[in-house]
Amino acid sequence: MNVRRALPALLTAALALSACDIPATGVVEAGEPATGVLEPPGSTPAPTETRALPFTTVPLYFLDDGSLVAVPRTVPGPAELGTTVLMLFKGPDAEERGRGLTTGLPRLSTVPTLRTDGASVTVQLPEAAAGLSDTAVDQLACTVAGARLHQDPELGSVQVTVEQPGGRLAGRSSDDCPGPATATPAVPKPTA
């Protein structure tokens, strides 16, 4: 082999590799090859274990001929305060409307700000919910109280403060809510 001819070719290759920031390394071990990623054609995949998703029943407060009533609503998973409040602001579902239930709350697509401190919950409403009637505030406060009691049944009683735009405050206690202000514990929903 002619060294004079090979030297420029080697220098050119070395410069090209160094210009691309490709380090000169040997073989790098990267672990075992992937296995079991695809099932062979015509095979039956192994059955996977399915677990029942726990469901929780929370009280939402709607209006029946102007009177506050607790309506049980089942939700998947634990009842978060934000999720419960958003369901309330969406209003009665079709079956509940068919029973004559209504709401004094406007439809909201965002959850009001909720602050929890033990047995006290503060609900700060957005501008879209300005000027709620006392009955609408009762709906909201009782629903929040019921959901908070579901989260921590040992509280026994919950105080809810509703802050409306413009600085108007309203306070309610779960003790003043009609019907069951507690919720059913989470249980797995039967699978078919």
pLDDT tens for each residue of the chain, 192 residues long: 565 565 566 555 555 555 555 555 555 555 555 554 455 556 555 556 656 667 888 899 999 999 999 999 987 777 788 889 889 999 999 999 999 999 999 888 777 899 999 899 999 988 878 888 899 999 999 999 999 998 888 988 999 999 988 777 888 888 989 876 444 433 344 444
The pLDDT value given to residue 21? 54
The 3-state DSSP class for residue 172 equals: strand
Contacts of 174 (CB under 8 A, 6+ apart): 142, 145, 146, 148, 149, 157, 158, 159, 160, 181
